[in-house]
Amino acid sequence: MASLPVTLDTINPKVLECEYAVRGEIVILAQKLQEELKNNPNSQPFDEILYCNIGNPQSLAQQPITFFREVLALCDHPALLDKPESKILFSEDSIQRASQILGQIPGRATGAYSHSQGIKGLRDTIAAGIEARDGYPADPNDLFLTDGASPAVHMMMQLLIRSKNDGILCPIPQYPLYSASIALHGGTLVPYYLDEATGWGLEVSELEKQLKTAKSNGISVRALVVINPGNPTGQVLAKENQEQIVDFCKKEGLVLLADEVYQENVYVADKKFHSFKKVARSMGYGDNDICLVSFQSVSKGYYGECGKRGGYMEITGFKPDVRDQIYKLASVNLCSNISGQILASLIMKPPKEGDKSYESYVKEKNAILSSLARRAEKLEEVFNSLEGVTCNRAEGAMYLFPRLHLPEKAIEAAKGAGAAPDAFYARRLLNATGIVVVPGSGFKQVPGTWHFRCTILPQEDRIPAIVTRLTKFHKEFMDEFRS
């Protein structure tokens, strides 16, 4: 008998190399503890696991926007549209919108594969939404609808990366989808460091320095990733800063990959989201000047519909023959799921003033966003109150990324346990409190600094208990290891 043919020694080494800490070791431990709690509620010093590791709002009881779900249900079962009882169960404008959407789907077939870029009528709606947002035209043929933003990112990495000599400039800290995708496609991550001291500032001088270093190492840099608002860092870029970035990409011939999935998540009055496309167009740059990809998702914002796997990318500045290649890549997987496509059209064209659902929609949306802003502020304040912890504010997105100034003894203890100091801290935090955060090492960070990422997503009535548990744990941790 031949032994089993697949071992760690015989699989694709790029798979081994790839890491994804958001669902990594700490989360696997959390799932184990949750199982133990289920079997024996007294087995742990806490009674539930609090998943602050991932931007998954509805897993922490955020409710979906009613109008969106009404439309989805009607599109799933169009027979409902003709029933008199539906007039009682559904809002008038959800029935209208569902009818309109079904009219845009060939044969009203929500169970059919669509065009590989997504249903044309839905892309028209999204393009109109982008135009309304930016004040510049958007072309539905520039849109590729995808199962969340992740497959769109993979598609661009697959297109751009030829070998280890191809580099992608990524912020550090970064969302680990980027490092994972670059590793899987065999490229090189070229880091540029965000400046923690200036609120995770993005300096073009740093981009220039890192580009130069990469070039001198024989790396051909293909693209620049910018996450705005930032993940895990929460900063919102100023328009002037974005203009500098656009000019840098134009000058250096880089594709600008703009992760704009948190565009609705801005919590501070002095900052505003500007899409990179709007910024580039406002500088007078068109399709012949810069290659620009904007990623958007139904998973974030006030909607938080992670489980629906909807999203899109808008690509501009690509020549037709290259676009044909992107189309081919999309077509190999046929299309993204139709419910996700419909939802992507809904978030880019929510109810407007005068619509029957408008009031309830605005109320639901504002309640979520204002609560997120309060939670961001509260948790930032708490982190900053802890001994040896500093934390920039979350101007946007869904995360805080506090820095741990750990005592030498803690770092030694981590070494003894075979873990990075922040992973050591996160494991201890989980075991003591049931709170799940992701160690900074999962996002990369300035060597010798330690952080963790914590979402701002637990509901407000849970925050006091979290603060109490966290504060108590941290004090005990410092007492144990203080030099």
The minimum distance between CB 156 and a second copy, in angstroms, equals 10
Q: Are 402 and 279 in contact (CB under 8 A)?
A: no
The minimum distance between CB 237 and a second copy, in angstroms, equals 22
What's the CA gap between 281 and 451, in Å, rounded?
Answer: 37
250 binds a second copy (CB under 8 A): yes
- Of 121, 151, 230, 439, the one binding a second copy by CB under 8 A: 151
The minimum distance between CB 91 and a second copy, in angstroms, equals 11
Which SS3 state, helix, strand or coil, does residue 3 take? Answer: coil
With contacts defined by CB under 8 A, name the span among 135-143, 191-199, 336-344, 371-379 that binds a second copy. 336-344
340 binds a second copy (CB under 8 A): yes
The minimum distance between CB 366 and a second copy, in angstroms, equals 19
- Residue 376 CA: distances (Å) to CA of 41, 372, 442, 463, 465: 31, 6, 21, 11, 16
The residues, any chain, with a CB within 8 Å of residue 347's CB and separated by 6 or more, are 68, 298, 301, 303
Q: What is the DSSP letter of 435?
A: E
Q: Is the dihedral angle over the CA atoms 296, 297, 298, 303 positive or is it negative?
A: negative
State which residue, 319 or 352, has the beta carbon closest to a second copy.
319
Which SS3 state, helix, strand or coil, does residue 169 take? Answer: strand
The minimum distance between CB 162 and a second copy, in angstroms, equals 5
What is the distance, to the nearest Å, from the Cα of residue 35 to the centroid of all Cα atoms in its chain?
A: 28
Query: Residues 5 to 24: which contact a second copy by CB under 8 A?
Result: 5-8, 10-16, 18-20, 22-24
The residues, any chain, with a CB within 8 Å of residue 427's CB and separated by 6 or more, are 26, 29, 419
Q: Are 262 and 311 in contact (CB under 8 A)?
A: no
The minimum distance between CB 183 and a second copy, in angstroms, equals 10
State which residue, 140 or 304, has the beta carbon closest to a second copy.
304
66 binds a second copy (CB under 8 A): yes
The minimum distance between CB 160 and a second copy, in angstroms, equals 7
- Of 317, 396, 421, 442, the one binding a second copy by CB under 8 A: 317
Q: What angle do CA 244, 250, 255 make, to 5 degrees?
A: 105
Backbone phi and psi for residue 299, each to the nearest 5 degrees, phi listed first = -80, -20
What is the distance, to the nearest Å, from the Cα of residue 69 to the centroid of all Cα atoms in its chain?
A: 22
What's the CA gap between 15 and 256, in Å, rounded?
Answer: 26
123 binds a second copy (CB under 8 A): no
DSSP 355-383: STTHHHHHHHHHHHHHHHHHHHHHHHHHH
- Of 91, 181, 235, 275, the one binding a second copy by CB under 8 A: 181
Q: Are 379 and 463 in contact (CB under 8 A)?
A: yes
99 binds a second copy (CB under 8 A): no
367 binds a second copy (CB under 8 A): no
The minimum distance between CB 382 and a second copy, in angstroms, equals 25
Q: Are 461 and 50 in contact (CB under 8 A)?
A: no
205 binds a second copy (CB under 8 A): no
Q: How many residues bind a second copy (CB under 8 A)?
A: 104
State which residue, 73 or 238, has the beta carbon closest to a second copy.
73
Do the bridges between strand 450-455 and strand 403-404 make them parallel or antiparallel, or are there none, so unpaired? antiparallel
Q: Burial, 447: exposed, middle or buried (Cβ in 10 Å; 0-12, 13-18, 19+)?
A: exposed
Backbone phi and psi for residue 411, each to the nearest 5 degrees, phi listed first = -65, -40
304 binds a second copy (CB under 8 A): yes
With contacts defined by CB under 8 A, name the span among 177-185, 240-248, 415-423, 474-482 that binds a second copy. 177-185
With contacts defined by CB under 8 A, name the span among 60-68, 188-196, 393-401, 402-410 that binds a second copy. 60-68
356 binds a second copy (CB under 8 A): no
Query: Residues 69 to 98: which contact a second copy by CB under 8 A?
Result: 69-70, 72-74, 76-77, 79-80, 83, 85-86, 88-89
With contacts defined by CB under 8 A, name the span among 270-278, 297-305, 355-363, 389-397 that binds a second copy. 297-305
State which residue, 4 or 197, has the beta carbon closest to a second copy.
4
The minimum distance between CB 295 and a second copy, in angstroms, equals 14
188 binds a second copy (CB under 8 A): no
State which residue, 122 or 386, has the beta carbon closest to a second copy.
122
Query: Residues 427 to 466: which contact a second copy by CB under 8 A?
Result: none
